[in-house]
């Protein structure tokens, strides 16, 4: 370094390089500088048209092979699809990653939570993302994994938001009742198909449920159907607020959910109505559920009436998850264990497939009852019998 | 900058900072500098003892909750367990991540492949890792996700290696027949329990199979049992070498596999013998398979004899996947559809549960046949009948 000017230029140049270096790595560097989300630079330009070419550099070769093998007629159609994911936690984040890797057109992510180290027992989020909002952390990873997917994020609580008009398809991966009801209400109003999912608090069971307004039971038609635990209820300790979770159960439920969504979006295989997962014994109860004509959601009832007008008996028969068993059933709950031959039940009481149970008792539909009748809160079956006797 | 000395000091300091900055990010920077694996600095020190404390900073709170809820008796026991994963591709990498997030003691990873952009349609690997060996890329991610897990990696083809003596538990996620046979041979010799897994080339089915030498059918006892495709074989195009794959099916199979491994390692629930997954219709065939006394693997036959000596009828009955149906069955193939009541078959022919089929016809066990008898390569059932007639 011979002159002062040269030294000053060198300092300038090095300062600039250091600044560039810090900027380039800032999103990978949040453990040192505190949580900060800077959208990652995509590793490649967007791909205009999907190719089935079998080369190591083609991210779509194994997906386009589905078309060559005759599983999916037009795989590229996936790029025209938008899926909204309400809740990007243990299930939703894996759903988002699966759809991103499958090359979905657009994802709309909703969550109001932050990534915590306590989430590290599930797939997807990384420790250096702790403190970031889940939607920002998810977007950073997903854009990097597949720059072709458009990611829209909303960092708020959906139960306080009623604008669902831009949704095309919905997937629910929420962890509370209020959020499910909010999605249900919006989907009934918008006549929007969605898939509900849930994982039990003891981490060893879960389910997915396909909900088509007016055609299947909505989330408000009947109490939520959950996989029965084989565990003695007396040994199942519930004190404390921390639910257990396992990456296995959540990824299995995410896999079922995305597979069902792909079958629906790309029109292949059979879309399932309800698939349960009991991880303790690897049992998978299935169930079809018809809508309840006395559902308290007025849009659900409206969709049912619209559906009655257009539906013909032959058409209904085409959809296996809607097989009608209890025609006299005023609750409209249909319980078909699809893994078994369908048997006509001896009475009109509602029974659910082996391995399933309702999450709680059905609420009393008081407006339908004469004032002097008091319905005790006993089993759903009892309640149904009493309702029946009133007719 | 008032003096030349000050300027020189500043340049020195900046050069040092730039160097440190580059070093710190070199492992996240492989797209710019070409593939390079530098083990990531763990984000925290190792945790000595797992805590169930419900705080956001505890990575084990949701796992220790399994203990508080009575699902697992001693969850911390998982830290004493070692699992070997042979093949860290679409299934194996997700298995590795799940076990890492569950806090397994040690993982031993085997693979000889490199990460390619063509793998981006499955979970786990990131585009910036393309060009790295799969085991190195996996180790970098896993150490970052959970520094408590010890990761041992082997970047070679296991079919050419015969040293399996250090294994404690094995999990197989390989994608070819030779690798499965190599694991099978080694496990029979070492009397080592392992779990085989597979995903179909059309991406829409898969299975896991628990193999306990001498107690269940080994991989050589019978032709591999795979989930039958509902697809018309004539429409299933097989030309070309590129198999289809989906992140859904692979994550579901990985989830089943790790759940089965956790149940085995931590002694809860029921370890499944065989669980199939038909994603097109969400059907899950199950099957129990007994070992074949005429298995060509001499260690398998030896383990069967050892097992006969110690086994008492009551003991055998405790293990549901080993229920004996065909006592006269010289092949030892036992086919129990566990989701259905077990029925005694009318003849001695082997049948598999609904939704399952053998991957190929059974090989001719020539050393067991008189030279003049020629067994035509028709169905397994025909072959079995012919073998029976020779006795």
| Cα of B12 vs its chain's centroid, Å | 52
Residue A282 CB burial class (10 angstroms; 0-12, 13-18, ≥19): buried
pLDDT at A252 > cutoff 70:
yes
Q: Which residues of A touch B57 (CB under 8 A)?
A: 116-118
- Respond yes or no: is residue B242 known to be catalytic: yes
pLDDT per residue over A125-166, tens digit each?
999 999 999 999 999 999 999 999 999 999 987 776 555 555
Q: State the distance between the two ends of chain B, measured CA to CA, in whole angstroms.
A: 100
Cβ distance of A56 and B117 shorter than 8 Å: yes
Which ipTM did the prediction report? 0.75
User: Tokens at residue B251, please?
Assistant: 């994550």
Gap between the Cα atoms of A158 and A179, Å rounded = 7
Average pLDDT over residues B363-371: 40
- In this predicted structure, the answer to whether residue A174 has a pLDDT above a threshold of 80 is no
Residues from chain B that touch A240, judged by Cβ atoms under 8 A, are 54, 65, 68
Over pLDDT 70: what percentage of chain B? 65
Q: How high is the pLDDT of residue A320?
A: 31
CA–CA separation, A148 and A42 (whole Å): 9
Question: What is the predicted pLDDT for the residue at A315?
Answer: 39
Q: Does A55 touch chain B (CB under 8 A)?
A: yes
Query: Is A113:A240 a contact under the CB 8 Å cutoff?
Result: no
Tell me whether residues A54 and B241 touch, CB distance under 8 A.
yes
Contact B252 A255 (CB under 8 A): yes
- In this complex, do B201 and A254 lie within 8 Å of one another by their Cβ atoms? no
Q: What is the pLDDT of residue B373?
A: 31
Tell if the CB–CB gap between A70 and B235 is shorter than 8 Å.
yes
Q: What is the pLDDT of residues A288-336, one digit of tens each?
A: 889 999 999 999 999 999 998 876 554 333 333 222 223 332 332 332 3
- Res A195: pLDDT: 94
What pLDDT is stored for residue A218 in this prediction? 94
pLDDT tens digits, one per residue of B313-360: 543 333 332 222 233 323 323 323 333 332 333 333 346 777 777 766
Q: Does A255 touch chain B (CB under 8 A)?
A: yes
Quick check: helix, strand or coil at residue A205?
A: strand
According to the model, what pLDDT value does residue B240 have? 53
Residues constituting chain A: 391
How many contacts does A have with B, using Cβ atoms within 8 A? 308
Shortest CA distance to A210 belongs to which of A195, A188, A191, A227? A195
Q: Does residue A338 have a pLDDT over 60?
A: no
Helices (DSSP H) in chain A: which residue ranges? 4-25, 30-33, 61-68, 92-101, 134-145, 177-190, 247-266, 298-310, 313-318, 380-390
Determine contact: A288 vs chain B, CB below 8 A.
no
In terms of pTM, does the model score above 0.80? Answer: no
- Residues of A that are catalytic: 242
Please give the Cα distance from A353 to A228 (Å, whole number): 10
Question: Are the C-beta atoms of A191 and A302 separated by less than 8 Å?
Answer: no
Please report, for residues A144, A334, A344, A381, the alpha-carbon distance to residue A348 in angstroms, rounded to integers and kept in the order given.
Answer: 55, 11, 10, 9
A33 touches chain B (CB under 8 A): no
Q: List phi, psi (to 5°) of A234.
A: -70, -25
Residues of B in contact with A43 (CB under 8 A): 31, 127-128
Q: How far apart are CA A148 and CA B203, in angstroms?
A: 22
Structural domains of chain A ordered from first start: 55-303 (3.40.50.720)
Residue A35: the pLDDT is 57
How far, in Å, CA of A41 to CA of A140, rounded? Answer: 9
User: According to the model, what pLDDT value does residue B2 have?
Assistant: 55
> pLDDT per residue over A29-62, tens digit each?
333 344 566 656 778 889 999 998 888 899 999 9
Closest residue on chain B to A65 (Cα): B244
Q: What is the DSSP string of B181-238?
A: HHHHHHHHHHT--EEEEEE-TTSSEEEEEEE-TTTS--TTTSPPEEEPP-S-TTT---
pLDDT value, residue B238: 52
What pLDDT, on a 0 to 100 scale, did the predictor assign at position A351?
Answer: 62
pLDDT tens column, B157-173: 777 655 555 544 566 66
Residue of B76 and A358 predicted with greater confidence: B76
Distances (CA, A) of B144 to A47, B33, B45, B135: 31, 21, 11, 14
Contacts of A262 in chain B (CB under 8 A): 246, 248
Q: Which residues of A touch B265 (CB under 8 A)?
A: none
Residues 6+ apart with CB under 8 A from A62: B118, B121, B122, B203, B242, B243, B244, B245
Q: Do B244 and A63 touch (CB under 8 A)?
A: yes
Give the model's confidence band at A20: pLDDT under 50 very low, under 70 low, under 90 confident, else very high. low
Per-residue pLDDT at A205 exceeds 60? yes
């Amino acid at each position: 370094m011979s002159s002062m000017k040269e030294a000053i230029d060198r300092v300038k140049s090095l300062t600039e390089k250091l600044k560039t270096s810090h900027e380039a790595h800032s999103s990978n560097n949040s453990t040192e500088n505190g949580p900060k989300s800077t959208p990652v630079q995509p590793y490649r330009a967007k791909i205009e048209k999907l190719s089935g070419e079998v080369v190591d550099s083609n991210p779509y070769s194994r997906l386009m092979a589905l078309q060559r093998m005759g599983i999916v007629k037009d795989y590229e159609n996936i790029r025209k699809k938008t899926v909204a994911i309400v809740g990007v936690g243990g299930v939703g984040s894996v759903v988002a990653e699966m759809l991103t890797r499958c090359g979905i057109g657009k994802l709309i992510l909703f969550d109001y939570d932050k990534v915590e180290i306590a989430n590290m027992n599930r797939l997807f989020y990384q420790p250096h993302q702790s403190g970031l909002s889940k939607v920002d952390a998810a977007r950073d990873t997903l854009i990097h994994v597949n720059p072709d997917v458009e990611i829209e994020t909303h960092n708020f609580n959906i139960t306080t938001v009623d604008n669902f008009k831009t949704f095309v398809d919905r997937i629910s991966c929420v962890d509370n009742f209020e959020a499910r009801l909010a999605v249900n209400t919006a989907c009934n109003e918008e006549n929007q198909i969605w898939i509900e999912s849930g994982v039990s608090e003891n981490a060893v069971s879960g389910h997915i449920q396909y909900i088509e307004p007016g055609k299947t039971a909505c989330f408000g038609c009947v109490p939520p159907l959950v996989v029965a635990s084989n565990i003695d209820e007396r040994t199942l300790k519930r004190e404390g607020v921390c639910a257990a979770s396992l990456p296995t159960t959540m990824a299995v439920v995410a896999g079922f959910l995305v597979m069902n969504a792909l079958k629906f979006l790309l029109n292949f295989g059979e879309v399932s109505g309800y698939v349960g997962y009991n991880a303790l014994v690897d049992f998978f109860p299935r169930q079809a559920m018809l809508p309840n004509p006395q559902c308290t959601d007025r849009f659900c009832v409206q969709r049912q009436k619209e559906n009655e007008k257009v539906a013909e008996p032959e058409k209904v028969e085409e959809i296996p998850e809607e097989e009608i068993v209890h025609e006299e059933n005023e609750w409209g709950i249909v319980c078909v264990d699809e893994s078994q031959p369908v048997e006509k039940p001896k009475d009109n009481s509602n029974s659910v497939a082996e391995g399933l149970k309702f999450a709680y008792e059905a609420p009393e539909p008081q407006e339908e009852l004469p004032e002097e009748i008091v319905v005790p809160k006993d089993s759903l079956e009892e309640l149904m019998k009493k309702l029946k006797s009133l007719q």
